[in-house]
Structure 1
Amino acid sequence: MLKDEVNKALKVVQDGGIILYPTDTIWGVGCDATNTEAVKKIYALKQREESKSMIILLDIDNKLQSYISEVPDIAYDLIEYAENPLTLVMPGAKNISPALIAADGSIGVRISSHPFCQQLIQRLRKPLVSTSANISGKPSPEYFGKIDPEIIDGVDYVVDIDQYSTEIKKPSTIMRLSPGGAFEFIRR
């Protein structure tokens, strides 16, 4: 079942579509992080200002240097020792859609531990966009049953995994990292 869902989602994402999918945190809306048209579809669906950037997911931390110009050494320690899902906002974003990169050149990156995300990213060979499955300004859904029908109807594919789970999930912790290794919490 997992393999089938990865295959279906992969085809949609490769064709420039957007998907609604489970992550190691809350449900996300995503697409190929290198496809600007697909990224713009997500902004439109969420009714979100393009100045509010979204994050990308990777399956393993050794891919960070492919998308961040200068990865501070501390990033690997923070990822390894984080007890909860951790998004690191780092400057020097590269090799992704310009529509994802913040005005200061940064991008938020999370290494996902969810088997679906890991397999999809491995097969796609590119990062996956991830943003909470809600209309901008409304609360993030804690589980699938709380996702706004407008979001469900607005994506090209809804991944059929974990839809019946009512486990309350929270968004990731977010930290901003500078190339020198200084960091600050944006969301705990």
Structure 2
Amino acid sequence: MPPTAPVKHGVSHNILTQAPPVYARAHRLPSEKLDPAKQEFAKMEELGIIRRSESPWVPPLHMGSSTATAIPFVGFSTWERWGADWERQGADWERRDADWERLHADWERWDADCERLDADWERRGADWERQDADWEKRNADWERLDADWERLDADWERRDADWERLDADWERLDADWERLGAD
């Protein structure tokens, strides 16, 4: 019997073995197992996981009981588990993507902070250079004032010497005046 639904995957199984295949003759299932098995097979056929076969041989069907359902199909439970794993891994990837985005945002913020710190460092370097230039100008001003002070001190000493000479001249003139007045 040809498949009723197109195959939804590109997987092709070609198993070459040297041993005889594992198979079982078709046999009746008890009614409590038949309905859940039909439902699981229909679900897997609808999903494109399996397709109908014309072979009289089938792999053995393993079914068991679970607390979730009365008699689940173990084969499909495996697919469900894989689907749950896939969803969990998808959630993990989403969480990792969110972590990556957060780390990327942190990196961009850190990079902006580094650029701001570099700009601050350059501004402080320019401030230091300006302060050094101001310091050198103040040192030059101080040296000029010191030279002016030494010149004023020398002028003061010269004027003091001039004053002493004038005072001596005054005393001599005063002595000459007294001597002229006494004659």
Please state which band the TM-score falls in when normalised by the shorter chain.
under 0.3
Q: From the CA coordinates, give the structure whose radius of gyration is larger.
A: 2
Structure with the bigger percentage of strand? 1
Query: What TM-score results when the alignment is normalised by the length of structure 1?
Result: 0.21
Higher relative contact order (CA 8 A, sep 6+): 1
Structure ranking higher in helix proportion: 2
